Amino acid sequence: MNIDLYQVDAFASKPFEGNPAAVCPLEVWLDDALLQAIATENNLSETAFFVSTETGYHLRWFTPSVEVDLCGHATLAAAWVIFNVLGDSSEILQFQTRSGPLLVKREDDELAMDFPAKTLEPLAMHTEVAAAFGGIEIEEMLISDDIVVVINDVSLIESLAPDMQQLKQLPGRGVVVTAKGDDVDFVSRWFGPKVGVEEDPVTGSAHTSLAPYWARRLGKQTLTARQGGARKGTLSCILEGERVIIKGRVAPYLKGAITLPESN
């Protein structure tokens, strides 16, 4: 049994930037254990699998250890494959996912994802979270799917080196540290050892919380963002009511095939 595999860099203008994702188009759904095994073998922060439906595509995302409810960069990657490799001529793709319907639209050389905005609530765990990051000074801390840690000093973002074992003890899916940017509106880094991803270079889904936060704080609906440490990617975010439009480019990197015995 052969399964096509495409590896592309999402939120990137060229290879080796942004966030790499694997994309596997399927004719029918395979056993969940096999999907997880493929994602584990790929060892990227996400592998996206999709199956064509009458109204669009059914899309699922797997980290090396678990299936997740929402993933931005692998959605961007899957849409790029559907548009540019499979030749879908639609202007808008509709994905059915564990988080409900998601839309991706062509916009010149970018793809725009329409995601639900997330509401943040205050979280009173400053001591524990600060300790996991070596005692950083926290300005504000909130939580939705992820813990959002706001700091004042943007220069600290680059040097963050958290204790992954301590992060595993915290609530939520992962921890994102963010600050007001210099040449962009805000910057961030995202860490998720609980879901098998110590650091995700560019996390589209985290911006469903970050964009509404910074939109309120900066008083603007359209924002530019950069995420990452050694490897970085760029996004633009537009707040439209209860939705966040997240836009980015995709750079192709690899095309191949997974070869498995028929017994699998």
Active site residues: 46
User: Measured between alpha carbons, how far is 109 from 241 in angstroms, rounded to an integer?
Assistant: 25
Q: Please provide the size of the chain in residues.
A: 264
According to DSSP, residue 139 is labeled S
Largest CA distance in the chain: 57
Amino acid at 229: G
Contact 18, 202 (CB under 8 A): yes
Distance, CA of 31 to CA of 180 (rounded, Å) = 44
Q: Do 29 and 62 contact (CB within 8 A), yes or no? A: no
Angstrom distances, CA of residue 38 to CA of 6, 31, 32, 67, 118 = 13, 11, 10, 12, 30
